[in-house]
Copies of this chain bind each other. A is one copy, B any other.
């Protein structure tokens, strides 16, 4: 059966999953990138090395965000949401770091490390990390089971 997820099911999927994809677009080029994220019920929090993804969202902050749980072709759920890119600083940046560390535990870099280059001598685009959130304004969900 195909159908729409309820509002509660959409929230559960967003909270349960840890990997999603941002769709962003600028100057006629679409860009889909995976991110590891934390969700607080309103916003998606993530960090990224400065690069094409960050440049694209700065140029056009209207983004799509997708999360899925696929068991097989006939059993899956997915959430597609839309929202606005917001770059974080100060207390917001600290809060995002705390959320990400809480979400990913010992696998994550520390909240402090998130703000600093973790790896020396790599391409320049990886030399600065940006913490950001996507403020979701519309969420849809579909399932087949």
* Residues of chain A whose beta carbon lies under 8 Å from any beta carbon of chain B: 1-3, 19, 21-25, 28-34, 36, 49, 62-66, 68, 70, 72-74, 76, 78, 80, 82, 104, 107-109, 119, 122-123, 126
B34, A23: Cβ atoms closer than 8 Å: no
- Which of B62, B107, B119 interacts with A2 by CB under 8 Å? B119
- In the bound complex, residues from chain B placing their C-beta under 8 Å from that of A119 are 1-2
- Which of B70, B82, B104 interacts with A73 by CB under 8 Å? B104
Distance in angstroms between the alpha carbons of A22 and B119 in the assembled complex? 31
> Can you list 19 residue pairs at the A/B interface with Cβ under 8 Å?
A2-B49, A2-B122, A2-B123, A2-B126, A3-B122, A19-B70, A24-B30, A25-B30, A29-B64, A30-B30, A30-B62, A31-B64, A32-B80, A33-B78, A33-B80, A34-B68, A34-B78, A73-B108, A74-B107
- In the bound complex, residues from chain B placing their C-beta under 8 Å from that of A23 are 23, 25, 30-32, 64
Distance in angstroms between the alpha carbons of A73 and B100 in the assembled complex? 11
Given contacts A73-B104, A104-B73, A107-B72, contact A66 B126 (CB under 8 A): no
Distance in angstroms between the alpha carbons of A62 and B28 in the assembled complex? 9
